[in-house]
Chains A and B, each alone.
Chain A
Amino acid sequence: MESVSVTRRNFTEICWGAMALPGFAEWLKGEPRDYQPKFFDAGDFEALQSFTEILIPTDDTPGAREARCAQFIDFLLDASSEDARLQASWRKTLSTLRDLGYHAGDVSARARLVQTLAQEKHPAFNTIKQLNAFAFYTSRAGQIEALDYRGLSYNATFPACTHPEHRKI
């Protein structure tokens, strides 16, 4: 059996040492467009970033751009070297978009293609939408600024329901 010796110190190193990975701190601090993709090539990354921003646009609340969803997806896939199937499925997804003309399309052409893929429930659309939603709503921009999540805070009391109408069916 594999010999395993995991100490508290090792745990800490495993968890927090990863914070020093090249790229991670960079995209946290830098401008979104400064990020150098690790998993995708520049063309695929630009296409992915554009796609995620169509799915979750910036409006009266932040969108995928501010949440840096494409960067997180690239970061996650780059770290998924043990999951060859996952990486292959994403290569195929971007390859499909390229074949459909997404990469070469202008803004309106890209918007039309996204609409078509959504109507078809195309696997490429679903793949990007699912991880994009996760990337967005686990970001500070998505969870706090868009959804106004109140948990993980210190509170003197719990806000009880004070609505008489909720006591009736």
Chain B
Amino acid sequence: MNESYDVIVVGSGACGGWASMELAQAGMKVLMLEAGSHISAAEQFHHQCLYDLEFRGRGRPGFLRRYTGTERNYRIMLDTAENPYTTSTDTSYRWSRSRCLGGRTLHWARAADRMGDYEFKAASRDGYGMDWAISYADIKPYYDRVESFIGVSGEVLGLPQFPDGPFLPPMPLNCAETIFTAACGAIGWKSTHRRLAQLTQVHHGRPACHYCGNCVNGCDVGAMFSTISSTLPPALKTGNLTVRTDSVAARVRMNGENRAQGVTYIERYSMKPVDIDARFVVLAASTIENTRLLMLSEKGGLANSSGLLGYYLIDQIAGGGVSGILPRLKGGPARLDDGKSAGITIPNFQNIDKATARKDFIRGYVINATGGQTEYPEYAATLPGYGSEWKKEVKARYVAQARVWIAGGEMLARKENFVELDPEVKDHWGIPVVKIHFTHGDNDRKLMADFQQRAEELFRKAGGEVMPEMRRGGPAGFPGGPGSPDETTATHRMALGGAIHEVGTARMSSNAKDGVLNSFCQTHDISNLYVFGGNAFPSTGDKHPTVTMMALAARGCDHIKENAKGRLS
């Protein structure tokens, strides 16, 4: 007889952590399976200056090729040699993943912006794609629940396309951000502090941020939301949660009555397969990984009566923007400018209604801007000159750095972007990997071009001096350079997938014909199988997706609790 639980949760990221906490607190016996290693903030997260690192962040030459990280944080990323994937010949999609306890919550950008009916009902407004099977009113209580627990610092703005939440005080603006705010006002755009799952005061026993700026390398005190700082401790406290790391989920097993029987996982090091049974199975292993597991579980894909499993892969448009300096800050005193890794946010102001409708593209984007000193002056290597005068110029510009970038641009969902199982390539455990088909469309390119113009307009209005060669991060392999997690905020055009906001591939729908999941992230076909993450998104919207994924997971957890009591048909 197999080991048995009430619920198996596959994955320990934002949604897996949330589901484990909520269901364990509801008295259910929960098993969390994590493919990667155990992580302890106290043991593994420390402030390390570049000069503390033997290779100054680059890692031993050649060593980091197999990791999607830097010398500081590759431990919380993923070994690409163990976990390959393939792409079609027409794309260079880069799938950034983590395999460790906490997943991508350990190094995420912390942006916690709600979506609204402006996004959920976009198809009704402009006729493209499919509306979500929920409205803002359906999900608002769950946004409130999630944000109240994880702690989001921000400012109430009162814009329907940028819904407010129960915010902690916002993080203060530095000088460059204050200037950009004034520039937005002069243009006529509303702007606000970036809304971040990063504490500005003690919250549920977690300390406030100490403004070190080390977030993407793992927060040593748990002031930024992560599974290991926030959801895991109370889940473990219930005594109802078992965490099993180094356990690679291989498939969902079915019984003969169209219900999930449990999960088969492979012990990471012994390679031994293990069968576990449960009343409910929750896949929360990240968007593409969840879909891969459904595809691995049954020929043609489990829960795929719609035939849409794997289709409509979407990722937000990212990259581009403007970098340079704000001359009025040049030569000023050194300041702690990058200690909060934040900035200002300019919510989308186009295609909201008839008055703001564009003729050349649909949907919208959110802009971010920040500035000031950074850890490494990447412009130094290409700044003309040398000698003492060059040194003085490097320092004078150091505190005046500034950049504008696209926080998230809505990419349209298209069926030709999809994932499938690669018929030939397998991972370290002999499990078939995914093959990704992904390209941008015409609307995506027009939206990006419009953003670029607006970014330059904002930069000019702030009095900025553009430095085309300057971007956050250094050359490939450097912190912030191509291939590093920091690249999500780099101001150059990045690889497809660089936003790391991949969603779709098992979209929600009000009927089983048009999607894989219902509005509770329960599969239409199998009543005890749920999929938490970005899979349910029929569209990306222009907000960072994590807090929406968590709110959907919270809503799904309520559904599981009711389902467990037999109150649902």
Contact = CB atoms under 8 A, between A and B. Distances in A.
Interface string A17-48: 01101001000000000000000000000000
27 contacts: A6-B82, A18-B60, A55-B387, A56-B390, A57-B387, A129-B381, A130-B382, A134-B474, A137-B394, A138-B50, A138-B51, A143-B376, A149-B373, A151-B338, A152-B48, A152-B213, A153-B336, A155-B211, A156-B210, A158-B211, A158-B340, A159-B335, A161-B175, A163-B178, A167-B181, A169-B182, A169-B461
Interface in B332-351: 334-340
Contact of A154 (B54, B212, B340, B387): B212
Interface stretch (B111-119, B154-162, B166-174, B488-496): B166-174
Contact of B463 (A76, A154, A157, A169): A169
Given A57-B387, A152-B47, A155-B336, 4 more contacts: A76-B61, A134-B381, A138-B51, A160-B174
Contacts of B462: 169
A115 to B, nearest CB: 9
Interface in B37-81: 37-38, 47-51, 54-58, 60-63, 71, 75, 79, 81
A21 B336 CA distance: 35
A165 to B, nearest CB: 8
Interface in A55-87: 55-57, 59, 61, 63, 72, 76, 79-83, 86
B212 to A, nearest CB: 5
Per DSSP, are chain B's interface residues mostly helix, strand or loop, or mixed?
A: loop
Given A150-B373, A154-B212, A159 B51 contact: no
B336 A151 contact: yes
Interface of A: 1-8, 11, 14-15, 18-19, 21, 24, 54-57, 59, 61, 63, 72, 76, 79-83, 86, 114, 118, 129-130, 133-135, 137-140, 143-144, 146-161, 163, 166-169
Interface residues of B, number: 73
Contacts of A76: 55, 58, 61
B428 interface: yes
Contacts of A86: 61
Smallest CB-CB A-B distances: 3 pairs = A160-B172, A148-B334, A82-B62
A144 B334 CA distance: 11
A151 B213 contact: yes
B335 A79 contact: no
Contacts of B214: 151-152
A15 B382 CA distance: 31
A152 B387 contact: no
B386 A137 contact: no
B95 interface: no
A140 B51 contact: yes
Per DSSP, are chain A's interface residues mostly helix, strand or loop, or mixed?
A: loop
Contact of A8 (B38, B185, B209): B38
B233 interface: no
Contacts of A139: 51
B302 to A, nearest CB: 26
B178 A161 contact: yes
B562 interface: no
Contacts of A153: 47, 212, 336, 339
Contacts of B79: 4, 6
B182 A167 contact: yes
Contacts of A140: 49, 51
B428 A146 contact: no
A82 B213 CA distance: 33
A137 B398 CA distance: 11
B57 A138 contact: yes
Contact of B81 (A2, A72, A167): A2
A72 B61 CA distance: 13
A114 B385 CA distance: 11
A158 B372 CA distance: 13
A155 B340 CA distance: 11
A28 B320 CA distance: 39
Given A134-B381, A158-B171, A152 B49 contact: yes
A143 B375 contact: yes
B141 to A, nearest CB: 32
Contacts of B391: 56-57, 59, 61, 63, 146
Contacts of B54: 15, 18-19, 21, 24
A20 to B, nearest CB: 10
A167 B185 CA distance: 10
A80 B334 contact: no
Contacts of A168: 182
A158 B186 contact: no
B312 to A, nearest CB: 31
B327 interface: no
B428 A163 contact: no
B211 A166 contact: no
Contacts of B183: 169
B561 interface: no
Given A137-B377, A146-B395, A158-B339, A8 B61 contact: no
A163 B47 CA distance: 30
Contacts of A83: 61-62
B395 A159 contact: no
Contacts of A147: 334, 373, 377, 394-395, 398
B375 A151 contact: yes
Given A18-B54, A169-B186, A3 B388 contact: no
Interface string B181-202: 1110110000000000000000
A5 B181 CA distance: 50
B35 interface: no
Contacts of A118: 385-386
Nearest to B47: A152
B380 interface: yes
A150 B63 CA distance: 30
B175 A163 contact: yes
A72 B340 CA distance: 30
A133 B381 contact: yes
Given A118-B385, A151-B338, A158-B211, A5 B269 contact: yes
A99 to B, nearest CB: 21
Nearest to A168: B182
